[in-house]
Structure 1
Amino acid sequence: MPKKFRPDVRGFNQVMKSDATRAELSRLGNQFAAEVGDGFESVSDNRHPWVAREFVQPATPAAHRANARDKLIMRALGKRLG
């Protein structure tokens, strides 16, 4: 009988919180924020216990209004996903 697959959860979590993963997420977040337009920033969130996360959000009141009105982040994501 074949062995049951058991993922190495601790190893996966180490990779997902590693400096290399955080650096790549930061690079991608900054690139995406630049695609969205002026006034948007990429923000790292390291509070999650298992994975590093990156968010793109409006950094200025004008960008916040433009995103609320024109859905700029969603449009940029749609362009990226095709």
Structure 2
Amino acid sequence: MTDHFDDTTFPLSPEQRAVPADAPRLLLRADIEGALDAARLRDVVARVLGAHGALCSAIRAVPGYRGCASSTPTG
């Protein structure tokens, strides 16, 4: 796992553009019983994130971006 985000950006897909800004976020919660092996947990999380890069995605503001224009034809 890294604590740093790279500055690479990609355009949103049509599906991502269709999601309203106030859409609910999907969160994962896990209750762990017993002693926690922090090193093992860190290793497992790093391997999952390495195998599924989309889990590391962040959507953030881009300077100068003012939103998507509607592609719906008028008239």
For CA contacts below 8 A with separation 6 or more, give which structure has more relative contact order.
Answer: 2
Q: Which has the higher strand share?
A: 1
The TM-score normalised by the length of structure 2 is 0.29
